[in-house]
């Protein structure tokens, strides 16, 4: 009798455990994937560059990506450089990538100026290619998720937070910042919704999205001619990858000017001249 009672109890325990496991699995499967707000093709456009101080490096250039047509004949009527479209700059960034840090430090001032002058649109695409390079803490993934949290709940501070993540970048093969430290950093740059941002970061709300966004980028980048992400940073200007020195702002500025000039002449050639009237 005692043996039978024990057997029944064991069966009951197993049944309850099975129900709990089934509920947990089904709940996880039914939980919708959280998508960040203010996102387009997995990128976040910079709308406010406040909170990022001027760089002291005198090698920065004041050039703006506005083409000056001098080498080619201009159409009739003559178009002015201000008539052209803004250049589109997209930066795929891994917050543990030293190259991403180098590019940001070298170019943050002129990028800020171009956005302020409406000479360029600037978007960052957080990816997590170095997730396995932080002693198991998945810092790259967590930082990308944190950036998405700030872009969602405090978009005006996204650029400042993005810059802070790169300027205070931890070493590869280190633990990186904890979620609490990432939240503190987000609040320090002046988040408009500190409680919501902190909760989002500490719960890693967009980590799954960040992983899937990385996978999508590795398969192919939107609005390009079959370009896929191969490393970070990957910087695109009007869909054309920049392959110059990451730490040379003058070289990057010249590349942007060249792309802007090409776009200007292409638009000019495609615009027919008006027919003269007596």
**Cβ contact 271:75 at 8 Å:** yes
For residue 178, what pLDDT band results from cuts at 50, 70 and 90?
Answer: very high
Q: In the chain, helix, strand, coil percent, each to 5? A: 50, 10, 45
User: Is 120 strand, coil or helix?
Assistant: strand
CA distances from 189 to 11, 56, 97 (A): 56, 20, 21
Please report the sign of the dihedral spanned by the C-alpha atoms of residue 236, residue 242, residue 245, residue 249.
Answer: negative
In this predicted structure, what is the pLDDT of residue 262? 77
**Is 219 a residue whose pLDDT tops 60?**
yes
| pLDDT tens digits, 195-208 | 999 999 999 999 99
| pLDDT tens digits, 141-167 | 999 999 999 999 999 999 999 999 999
In this predicted structure, what is the pLDDT of residue 79? 30
What does 55-108 look like in DSSP terms, one character per residue?
P--TT-----S-----SSPPPSSPPPGGGSPPEEEEEEE-TT-HHHHHHHHHHH
What does 190-244 look like in DSSP terms, one character per residue?
T-SSHHHHHHHHHTTTTHHHHHHHHHHHHH--TTSSS----SS-EEEETTEEP-S
Quickly count: other Cβ atoms within 10 Å of residue 76's Cβ.
9
In this predicted structure, what is the pLDDT of residue 51? 86
The answer, yes or no, to whether the previous bond of 12 is cis (omega within 30 of 0) is no
In this predicted structure, what is the pLDDT of residue 9? 47
| pLDDT tens digits, 61-116 | 445 555 444 344 333 332 323 345 689 999 999 999 999 999 999 999 999 999 99
The answer, yes or no, to whether the previous bond of 110 is cis (omega within 30 of 0) is no
**Is 270 a residue whose pLDDT tops 80?**
no
Can you tell me which residue has the tokens 């810092």? 139
**Cβ contact 171:237 at 8 Å:** no
- Total length of the chain: 278
Helices 158-167 and 98-116: crossing angle in degrees, nearest 10, is 150
User: Which class is domain 38-270?
Assistant: alpha beta
**Cβ contact 130:191 at 8 Å:** no
Residue among 243, 245, 246, 240 at smallest CA distance from 221: 240
Quickly count: other Cβ atoms within 10 Å of residue 151's Cβ.
28
Instruction: Give me Rg for the CA atoms of the chain.
Output: 25
Can you tell me which residue has the tokens 């695409």? 125
Task: For the chain, give every domain's residue range.
Answer: 1-31, 38-270
In this predicted structure, what is the pLDDT of residue 52? 87
Burial of 199 (0-12, 13-18, 19+ CB in 10 A): middle
In this predicted structure, what is the pLDDT of residue 213? 98
In this predicted structure, what is the pLDDT of residue 33? 67
| pLDDT tens digits, 1-23 | 555 454 444 444 444 444 333 33
């Amino acid at each position: 009798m005692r043996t039978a009672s024990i057997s029944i109890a064991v069966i009951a325990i197993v049944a309850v455990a099975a129900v709990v496991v089934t509920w947990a699995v089904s709940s996880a499967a039914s939980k919708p994937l959280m998508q960040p707000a203010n996102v387009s093709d997995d990128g976040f456009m910079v709308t406010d560059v406040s909170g990022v101080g001027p760089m002291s490096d005198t090698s920065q250039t004041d050039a703006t990506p506005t083409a000056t047509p001098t080498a080619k004949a201009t159409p009739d009527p003559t178009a002015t450089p201000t008539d052209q479209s803004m250049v589109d700059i997209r930066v795929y960034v891994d917050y543990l990538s030293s190259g991403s840090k180098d590019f940001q430090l070298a170019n943050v001032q002129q990028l800020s100026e171009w956005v302020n002058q409406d000479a360029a649109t600037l978007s960052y695409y957080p990816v997590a290619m170095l997730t396995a390079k932080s002693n198991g803490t998945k810092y790259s993934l967590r930082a990308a998720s944190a950036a998405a949290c700030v872009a969602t709940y405090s978009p005006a501070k996204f650029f400042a937070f993005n810059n802070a993540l790169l300027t205070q970048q931890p070493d590869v093969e280190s633990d990186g910042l904890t979620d609490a430290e990432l939240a503190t950093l987000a609040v320090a740059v002046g988040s408009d919704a500190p409680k919501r941002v902190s909760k989002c970061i500490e719960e890693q709300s967009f980590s799954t999205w960040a992983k899937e966004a990385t996978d999508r980028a590795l398969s192919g980048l939107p609005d390009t001619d079959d370009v896929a992400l191969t490393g970070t940073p990957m910087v695109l200007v009007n869909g054309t990858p920049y392959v110059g020195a990451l730490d040379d702002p003058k070289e990057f500025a010249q590349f942007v000017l060249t792309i802007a000039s090409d776009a200007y002449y292409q638009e000019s050639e495609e615009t027919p001249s008006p027919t003269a009237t007596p």
